[in-house]
Chains A and B, each alone.
Chain A
């Protein structure tokens, strides 16, 4: 298994509180991604990073921010959590050669976040 650790694995919090999820990798991969998974929607991309301090928005970025100060860590922050952000959050990593997009992503085991 790829060395990807997500923390915490489970969290319950209240509406309006800030929440930070952490993704840590030991593979030295350049690309990192945050997804959320909801029933009937598959995985939807929230934010991604293509290098240290290089991040961009995905499909469902409203209400989320990210930071990547080191290759190995990618943080996802909910500044003021809402009930609609209750979901399972997955981090993924990838290493893409400059001449090919044909590489898989490797996933962590997710964080189950409940916002009451």
Chain B
């Protein structure tokens, strides 16, 4: 069973627009992470937010975490064609050890010029 569920499953926007995707999870976490996957490649880590943090920024990325609602959002501002990729949230659950992560099914983002 999946711990994280992303919404929407797919998102199509134009360059310059913002892209927002959401992740919901089921059990208490140590942290929540966002990854990007370009077609045919492995996942690349984008940002990690700890359970005691509410917001984090990295360049054009903004992540929020609401542990009371068990949800997180990833905002990509001023999107570019190079942002076209699938985005996954992953959670490190407090019941897990050895750094294991539970991944959601991902949001496919297409940015058109």
Residues of A bordering B, CB below 8 Å = 4, 31, 33, 35, 40-45, 48, 50, 56, 58, 90, 92, 94, 96, 101-110
Contact = CB atoms under 8 A, between A and B. Distances in A.
A42 B27 CA distance: 18
B100 A102 contact: no
Contacts of B4: 42
Interface stretch (B64-72, B74-82, B102-110): B102-110
A59 B104 CA distance: 14
B30 A101 contact: yes
Nearest to A39: B105
17 contacts: A4-B42, A33-B100, A40-B105, A42-B88, A43-B90, A43-B103, A45-B101, A48-B100, A101-B30, A102-B50, A102-B92, A103-B48, A104-B45, A105-B45, A105-B99, A105-B101, A109-B40
A94 B92 CA distance: 13
B33 interface: yes
Contacts of B105: 40-42
Nearest to A93: B99
Interface in B1-54: 2, 4, 30-31, 33, 35, 40-45, 48, 50
A40 B2 CA distance: 11
